[in-house]
Amino acid sequence: MGILSWILFGLIAGALGKLLMPGKDPGGCLITIILGIVGAVVGGFIATQFGYGKVDGFNIGSFFFAVIGTMILLAGYRLMIKKDD
C-alpha cells in the first residue's frame, strides 16, 4: 500500500477503534491516524503469531486486525494513565 492508503486506512481503523472504546483519549485527527497505523502493525503481528497468515493490503481481514490492534493500544494507554492517577 502507498502512503496515502496507509493514512486513510489508519484514519478509518483509528476512528472505529475509538468509536468502539469510547473514553477520554488524547488527540484529534493526526493522533487517530497514527493510532490506526500503529494498531494495524500490532494487529498484523498478532494475526501472524496466531497463524491467521500474512495480513497485507486493504481488505476486511486486515481492517479487522487493525481495529483490534487499535483497541489494544487504547487499552494499554488507559492502563498506563490509570496507574499515574
**Domain extent at residue 43:** 3-84
Rounded to two decimals, the pTM is 0.77
Give the residue, 1 or 29, on which the prediction is more confident.
Answer: 29
Fill in the amino acid letter for 53.
G
Fill in the amino acid letter for 52.
Y
d(CA 51, CA 55): 10
Number of domains in the chain: 1
Assigned C-alpha cell, 64: 479487522
Assigned C-alpha cell, 59: 481488505
| pLDDT at position 31 | 78
C-alpha pair distances (Å), 79 with each of 64, 65, 74: 23, 21, 9
Residue 56 pLDDT grade (very low, low, confident, very high; cuts 50, 70, 90): low
The tens digit of pLDDT for each residue in 10-24 reads 788 888 888 888 877
